């Protein structure tokens, strides 16, 4: 992937004068064949060669990052070297450049520069080490005689300056005719070892810096050399000791390399603010005991989405400090997303793909990633229909332009993205009709900062893919049932699109996105789409109940295999989305009990991981992945689903412990959510929340999750500071660290889902199940309607005086005429109230009522959840 975090165009202004002036400063050494260099100072060069390597990825073993290039060439690293076809007809050497930034130079140090190069036909190349800005003073200018056979070249020079961010550039322009250049083993050795970066991790007692629920678990971690138990004290805001005990030594934690103890102070349950925990002479950052912060995070993590919107102005009155003009609507300098062509040779039409959310800190819009994001928002809403503890999502909670339209705001926000996904479908009559284009983004990577409406790059549709098509099928099928009570036409449009996408994916099962398609946007390649097929079939089955999808689900290897791996699920691993929905959304799949049980088995695994981990994490692979925080959160989703299925407290407590890690109980003593916790991420990689680079721009809004530790540290900012990091330390809150510190729509979606789950637990008191049993029988079902009879039994030992029973329909069904109860409906949720004569239900007594319903397209299963006077019936 090519992702310069700066604008390459600045290098075009290299002046010949600067080059000449600087070339006197270097002394080339003859070391290898084919070089034009002569040795003048071999001793110094040997010393330099033993110095530290300053070039990142000079061997192109890990792709082409962080090398950048001018827009008139493309990198080809397929042969293990970096090659490029250099166009003819350019005038100046600097008209074609390959470069690397942020190379530290130390004054008076001598450096050894080496490279392998070849050209076809033979050419004189130009390699420079220079100042990255005007006047581009060169400290080394070398002119290797390149030829088709390839050779290695070596030079030395002494730096006249201290400079943290020199550039190495290969200037390849100025040829009338095209030629091919290849490069390998680029090395710049010498200078001082890079400064060892020491993150400021604050006190050694690590806590959730935001809040623990009063009646929930409360755990902390102490970093210490001690090997035997240490006393701890919990103090309130006034400094009084309110609880104390002894820690549990846990040995050396592999994920951080630290010797640690854990502290359990869960027996203390009094709500308050400004608590601290003291152990081993250190006092933790302050925290609350209370549920209020999660009610706020439930909202903030969703409010994140509106200012990610493309194609609409962000109103400052809705998001003070975040207002900005609409991005990519075709107003110059934008080229607009209203009429986007394909990449050359990919298609002969243009599409209006305006709208949707920007994926992350870039201006790209990707169907596979949009898919899981919108699905998780829809599932957060759908959970309110099926889970005993879930509190409703309503209209007017998120301050979006649609607030007040009678539709829950979370569905309004999700629709903004779903409308975009629908637009990415190939129109009828065109090749691959029904498939979805994988992505749309800029032709080349842009630099930071860059507000969306100022992006002047050409926008292009990339080829269709099976994965994108199945993301569309899955989300459109889910949308069809969820939006049906609010907008039947939109629901129908989604169902049609889902069916078309499914058929198109079946006809084109192996259109895989190319891993090489990563210029100007992420590749989002995925070589295995069995999980996407399974997810789509599951959603289509849940919505329609149809045989074809049922058969597909039951025959899929993903239906029964163990999908609860240690790394969890994400945009490229989506079988879990299908499995969890089959388990938690009402449907009549044969063997559904085993499906529900399999989710519980997954939760058991993550709970075991968490219990064994001294930082209480449900994620513990030997190396952390890109976006590890979203994997931690998705593993928590599995535990939350198991709690929703079983009501077993330990799964819920697993979720409550997992959130501690995200909010500060970690090796860095750092909260990964902007605005939450005393020390929290706020410089996430984003072209418009670029406050770190331009103080007039804002930081990301509160409630924004950072990707989190990534053992592979794939960006130069992380590589410069974090070499050799233990997994938990592979993170830096720097805007340039896009591989550890980006924000994305698919990482905030599990944060939002989990925040809602935690908020729904109130103060952490586990509610006793309702003393009731419900029998719900749909006696007759015809095209336009159905008749249902409901019996409610009081299974408790007290008389119920006045009852309200609630359930939700799967889709657009409407309760009509009723008998023996008063029925009303809001969205899909039905409320049945007793009449005067049947208000009292003695222990053991039942009441039966019924209604005629108006049918809606699709399945009409028996609801899983009934609540009587607010408590879920068994």
Is 198 an active-site residue? no
Q: Is 308 exposed, middle or buried (0-12, 13-18, 19+ CB in 10 A)?
A: buried
Pairing of strands 211-212, 287-289: parallel
Q: Which of residues 346-385 bind ligand 9MR (CB under 6 A)?
A: 359-360, 362, 364
Segment contacting ligand 9MR (CB under 6 A): 162-170, 349-357, 522-530, 720-728?
A: 522-530
In Å, how far are 77, 85, 97, 126 from 94, measured between CA atoms? Answer: 22, 15, 6, 10
What minimum distance in Å lies between the beta carbon of 617 and ligand 9MR? 19
Q: Is 742 in the site for ligand 9MR (CB under 6 A)?
A: yes
Q: Is 672 in the site for ligand 9MR (CB under 6 A)?
A: no
Cα 692 from chain centroid? Answer: 21
Segment contacting ligand 9MR (CB under 6 A): 123-131, 317-325, 518-526, 548-556?
A: 518-526
Task: Tell me if 173 sits within 8 A of 190, measured CB to CB.
Answer: no
In Å, how far are 48, 49, 89, 162 from 113, measured between CA atoms? Answer: 9, 9, 30, 17
Closest residue to ligand 9MR, judged by C-beta, is 522
Instruction: State how far the Cα of 704 lies from the Cα of 680, in Å rounded to an integer.
Output: 10
Nearer to ligand 9MR, 278 or 719 (CB): 719
Nearer to ligand 9MR, 409 or 742 (CB): 742
What minimum distance in Å lies between the beta carbon of 263 and ligand 9MR? 34
Nearer to ligand 9MR, 364 or 858 (CB): 364
Q: Is 554 in the site for ligand 9MR (CB under 6 A)?
A: no
Instruction: State how far the Cα of 399 lies from the Cα of 340, in Å rounded to an integer.
Output: 31
What minimum distance in Å lies between the beta carbon of 335 and ligand 9MR? 19
**Would you give the binding string for ligand 9MR spanning residues 608-647, x where CB under 6 A is met?**
------------------xx--------------------
Please count the helices (runs of H) and the strands (runs of E) in the chain: 16, 40
Q: Which position among 328, 441, 685, 715 bears the catalytic label?
A: 685
Nearer to ligand 9MR, 136 or 358 (CB): 358
What minimum distance in Å lies between the beta carbon of 703 and ligand 9MR? 18
Instruction: State how far the Cα of 483 lies from the Cα of 316, in Å rounded to an integer.
Output: 28
DSSP letter (8 states) at residue 95: G
What minimum distance in Å lies between the beta carbon of 567 and ligand 9MR? 11
Is 685 an active-site residue? yes
Instruction: State how far the Cα of 304 lies from the Cα of 130, in Å rounded to an integer.
Output: 41
Nearer to ligand 9MR, 30 or 512 (CB): 512
Task: Tell me if 329 sits within 8 A of 311, measured CB to CB.
Answer: yes
How would DSSP label each residue in 584-601?
HS----TTHHHHHHHHHH
367-386 helix and 409-423 helix, angle to the nearest 10 degrees = 150
Segment contacting ligand 9MR (CB under 6 A): 308-316, 333-341, 485-493, 521-529?
A: 521-529
Q: Among candidates 353, 358, 350, which has minimal Cα distance to 337?
A: 353
Instruction: State how far the Cα of 287 lies from the Cα of 216, in Å rounded to an integer.
Output: 14
Segment contacting ligand 9MR (CB under 6 A): 517-525, 532-540, 597-605, 858-866?
A: 517-525
Nearer to ligand 9MR, 689 or 738 (CB): 738
Of 686, 704, 719, 744, the residue at the interface with ligand 9MR (CB under 6 A) is 744
Task: Tell me if 704 sits within 8 A of 672, measured CB to CB.
Answer: no
Q: Among candidates 191, 230, 193, 19, which has minimal Cα distance to 105?
A: 191
Nearer to ligand 9MR, 175 or 465 (CB): 465
Tell me what percent of the chain is helix, strand and coil, each rounded to the nearest 5: 25, 25, 50
Of 99, 370, 522, 586, the residue at the interface with ligand 9MR (CB under 6 A) is 522
Segment contacting ligand 9MR (CB under 6 A): 233-241, 259-267, 738-746, 807-815?
A: 738-746
- Residues ≥6 apart with Cβ < 8 Å to 695: none
Instruction: State how far the Cα of 209 lies from the Cα of 224, in Å rounded to an integer.
Output: 19
What minimum distance in Å lies between the beta carbon of 179 and ligand 9MR? 31
**3-class secondary-structure state, position 826:** strand
Token pair recorded at residue 859 = 């399945």
Nearer to ligand 9MR, 357 or 552 (CB): 357
Of 71, 77, 516, 523, the residue at the interface with ligand 9MR (CB under 6 A) is 523
**Would you give the binding string for ligand 9MR spanning residues 265-304, x where CB under 6 A is met?**
----------------------------------------
Q: Which position among 101, 395, 581, 742 bears the catalytic label?
A: 742
Nearer to ligand 9MR, 516 or 766 (CB): 516
Nearer to ligand 9MR, 291 or 518 (CB): 518
Q: Which position among 653, 733, 734, 864 bears the catalytic label?
A: 733
466-482 helix and 488-507 helix, angle to the nearest 10 degrees = 150
Token pair recorded at residue 753 = 């889902």
What minimum distance in Å lies between the beta carbon of 362 and ligand 9MR? 5
Q: In 10 A of CB 264, how many CB atoms?
A: 14
What minimum distance in Å lies between the beta carbon of 189 and ligand 9MR? 29
Instruction: State how far the Cα of 749 lies from the Cα of 232, in Å rounded to an integer.
Output: 36
Is 352 an active-site residue? no
Segment contacting ligand 9MR (CB under 6 A): 255-263, 394-402, 447-455, 737-745?
A: 737-745
Q: Quick one: CA dihedral 402, 406, 411, 416, positive or negative?
A: negative
What minimum distance in Å lies between the beta carbon of 1 and ligand 9MR? 6
DSSP letter (8 states) at residue 202: -
How would DSSP label each residue in 542-553?
HHH--HHHHHHH
Cα 818 from chain centroid? Answer: 46
Token pair recorded at residue 536 = 């789509």
Q: Is 708 in the site for ligand 9MR (CB under 6 A)?
A: no
Q: How many CA atoms lie within 13 A of 150 on its CB side?
A: 12
What minimum distance in Å lies between the beta carbon of 630 and ligand 9MR? 8
Q: Is 479 in the site for ligand 9MR (CB under 6 A)?
A: no
What minimum distance in Å lies between the beta carbon of 738 and ligand 9MR? 6
Nearer to ligand 9MR, 485 or 700 (CB): 700
What minimum distance in Å lies between the beta carbon of 660 and ligand 9MR? 24
- The residues of the shown chain that bind ligand 9MR, judged by CB under 6 A, are 359-360, 362, 364, 522-524, 626-627, 738, 742, 744
Active-site residues, by number, are: 685, 733, 742
């Amino acid at each position: 992937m090519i992702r310069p975090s700066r604008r390459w165009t600045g290098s075009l202004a290299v002046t010949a004068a600067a080059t000449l002036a600087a070339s006197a400063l270097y002394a080339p050494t003859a070391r290898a064949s084919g070089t034009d260099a002569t040795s003048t100072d071999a001793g110094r060069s040997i010393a330099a060669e033993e110095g530290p390597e300053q070039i990142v990825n000079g061997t192109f073993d890990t792709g082409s990052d962080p090398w950048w290039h001018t827009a008139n060439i493309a990198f080809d690293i397929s042969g293990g070297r970096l090659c490029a076809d250099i166009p003819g007809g350019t005038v100046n050497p600097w008209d074609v450049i390959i470069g690397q930034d942020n190379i530290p130079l130390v004054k008076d140090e001598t450096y050894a520069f080496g490279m392998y190069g070849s050209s076809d036909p033979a050419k004189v190349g130009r390699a420079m080490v220079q100042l990255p800005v005007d006047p581009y003073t060169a400290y080394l200018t070398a002119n290797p005689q390149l030829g088709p056979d390839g050779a290695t070249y070596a030079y030395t020079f002494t730096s006249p300056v201290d400079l943290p961010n020199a550039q190495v550039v290969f200037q390849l322009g100025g040829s009338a005719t095209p030629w091919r250049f290849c490069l390998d083993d680029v090395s710049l050795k010498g200078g001082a070892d890079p400064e060892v970066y020491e993150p400021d991790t604050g006190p050694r007692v690590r806590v959730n810096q935001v809040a623990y629920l009063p009646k929930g678990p409360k755990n902390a971690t102490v970093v210490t050399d001690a090997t035997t138990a240490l006393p701890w004290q919990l103090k309130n805001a006034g400094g009084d000791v309110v609880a104390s005990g002894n820690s549990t030594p846990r040995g050396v934690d592999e994920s951080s390399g630290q010797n640690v103890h854990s502290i359990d102070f869960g027996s203390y349950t009094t709500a308050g603010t400004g608590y601290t925990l003291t152990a081993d002479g250190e006092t933790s950052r302050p925290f609350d005991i209370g549920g209020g912060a999660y009610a706020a995070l439930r909202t903030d993590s969703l409010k994140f989405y509106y200012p990610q919107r493309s194609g609409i102005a962000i109103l400052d009155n809705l998001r003070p400090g975040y207002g900005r003009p609409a991005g990519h609507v075709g107003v110059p300098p934008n080229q607009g997303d209203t009429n986007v062509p394909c990449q050359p040779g990919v298609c002969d039409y243009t599409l209006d793909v305006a709208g949707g959310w920007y994926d992350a800190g870039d201006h790209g819009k990707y169907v596979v990633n949009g898919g899981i994001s919108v699905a998780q928002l829809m599932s957060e809403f759908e959970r309110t229909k099926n889970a005993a503890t879930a509190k409703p999502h309503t209209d007017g909670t998120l301050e979006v332009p649609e607030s007040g339209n009678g539709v829950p705001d979370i569905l309004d926000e999700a629709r903004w993205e779903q409308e975009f996904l629908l637009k990415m479908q190939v129109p009828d009559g065109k090749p691959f009709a029904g498939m979805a284009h994988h992505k749309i983004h800029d032709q080349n990577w842009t630099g930071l900062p860059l507000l969306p409406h100022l992006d002047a790059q050409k926008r292009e549709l990339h080829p269709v893919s099976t994965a994108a098509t199945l993301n569309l099928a899955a989300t459109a099928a889910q949308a069809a049932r969820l939006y049906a009570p609010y907008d039947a036409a939109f629901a129908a449009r989604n169902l049609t699109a889902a069916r078309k996408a499914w058929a198109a994916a079946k006809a084109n099962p192996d259109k895989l996105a190319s891993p090489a398609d990563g210029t100007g946007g992420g590749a989002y390649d995925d070589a295995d789409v069995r999980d996407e097929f399974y997810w789509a079939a599951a959603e289509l089955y849940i919505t329609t109940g149809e045989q074809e999808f049922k058969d597909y689900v039951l025959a899929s290897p993903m239906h029964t295999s163990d999908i609860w791996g240690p790394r969890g699920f994400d945009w490229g691993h989506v079988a879990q989305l299908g499995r969890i929905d089959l388990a938690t959304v009402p449907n009549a799949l044969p063997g559904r009990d085993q499906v529900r049980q399999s989710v519980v088995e997954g939760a058991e695994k993550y709970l075991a991981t968490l219990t064994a981990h001294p930082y209480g994490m449900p994620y513990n692979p030997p190396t952390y992945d890109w976006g590890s925080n979203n994997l931690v959160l998705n593993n928590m989703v599995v535990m939350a689903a198991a709690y929703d299925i079983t009501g077993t407290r330990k799964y819920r407590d697993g979720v409550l412990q997992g959130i501690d890690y995200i909010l500060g109980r970690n090796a860095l003593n750092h909260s990964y959510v902007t605005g939450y916790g005393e020390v929290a991420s706020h410089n996430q990689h984003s072209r418009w929340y670029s406050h770190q680079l331009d103080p007039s721009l804002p930081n990301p809004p509160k409630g924004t999750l950072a990707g989190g530790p990534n053992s592979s540290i794939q960006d130069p900012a992380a590589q410069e500071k974090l070499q050799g990091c233990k997994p938990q330390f592979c993170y830096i809150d720097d805007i340039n660290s896009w591989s550890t510190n980006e924000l994305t729509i698919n990482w905030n979606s599990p944060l939002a889902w989990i925040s809602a789950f935690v908020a729904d637990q109130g103060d952490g008191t586990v509610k006793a199940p309702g003393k009731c049993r419900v029998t719900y029988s749909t006696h007759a079902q015809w095209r336009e309607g159905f008749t249902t009879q409901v019996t409610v039994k009081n299974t408790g030992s007290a008389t119920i005086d006045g009852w309200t029973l609630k359930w939700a329909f799967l889709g657009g069904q409407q309760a009509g005429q009723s008998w023996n109860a008063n029925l009303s409906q809001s969205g899909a949720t039905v409320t049945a109230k007793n009449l005067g004569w049947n208000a009292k239900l003695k222990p053991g007594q039942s009441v039966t009522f019924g209604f005629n319903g108006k049918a809606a397209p699709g399945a009409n299963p028996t609801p899983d959840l009934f609540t009587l006077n607010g408590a879920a019936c068994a």
